[in-house]
Amino acid sequence: MITLNVNIDHVATLRQARGGNEPDPVSAAIMAELAGASGIVCHLREDRRHINDRDLRILKEVNQTKLDLEMAANEEIIRIALDTLPDLVTIVPEKRQELTTEGGLDVINNFDKMKSLCERMHEKSIEVSLFVEPNEQQITAAKEVGADMVELHTGHYANAKDPIQNEFELAKIISSSAFAFDCGLKVAAGHGLNYINTKSICMIHEINELSIGHSIMARAIYVGIDRAVKDMIDLINNATLHRNIDI
Ligand code: PXP
């Protein structure tokens, strides 16, 4: 089974465009949950460019499913996470100028920092997922620092310009998922997934969680959040059915 965690950052981005209070990402989260999402993801960035502290606080209060706080390993945000107690934190690299998260974490070169972060989160029973490239060295390091899960970066696969590149990137995700699973890690995937490219990712047996934001909110503009989330869940469930039949 693959569960869908819906990222609501883009709703907050739209709100911030006018600096007012609509649309409210918290309302979007409730609608996504009502439509069947298994979890809600929000990224509290250091610069608060979309999700802000108020959103996170209320999300924690109203969330009925799983709250995944995406964050950088930054001391201020770590303290907020330890105070808020989300179910899961997904640790990402963060650059101020980037449009969105641009690549996976370098766990190898931030080994001690990641180990300490995992220990601090675990003390509060918060699970830790590290967002990494589909790369065995980084996955091994994720296991060694004590992460519970890796989220494999699907951005290069999603942005591949031709079928050969696409197959090449997909093959890396397939083999890395098996590798991470064999290491004893839970395996999630995310970034750039949409109503076309998600199907192949769902065929990977070891993946059991997806984190998707932009494509769902883009579709929601036309059809509403309820339909957009349900369409993605149907797509995931259909693909998963095929993956189970293929065994
Ligand atoms: N996973 C991570 C770690 C991300 O940083 C993002 C983007 O916020 C997503 C998943 C969702 O990506 P998208 O908005 O392209 O679906």
Q: What is the pLDDT along the chain (247 residues), one digit of tens a residue?
A: 999 999 999 999 999 999 999 999 999 999 999 999 999 999 999 999 999 999 999 999 999 999 999 999 999 999 999 999 999 999 999 776 666 667 899 999 999 999 999 999 999 999 999 999 999 999 999 999 999 999 999 999 999 999 999 999 999 999 999 999 999 999 999 999 999 999 999 999 999 999 999 999 999 999 999 999 999 999 999 999 877 775 5
| Cβ–ligand 1 contact at 214 (below 6 Å) | yes
Which range of residues forms the domain containing residue 121? 3-245
Active site residue 10: no
Residue nearest to atom 4 of ligand 1 (CA): 191
Of the candidates 70, 94, 151, 209, the residue annotated as catalytic is: 70
| Cβ–ligand 1 contact at 133 (below 6 Å) | no
Quote the Cα angle for 101-107-122, to 5°. 95
Quote the Cα angle for 107-155-203, to 5°. 100
Is the Cβ–Cβ distance between 191 and 154 less than 8 Å? yes
Number of domains in the chain: 1
CATH number at residue 113: 3.20.20.70
- Alpha-carbon span 55 to 201, nearest angstrom: 30
Active site residue 205: no
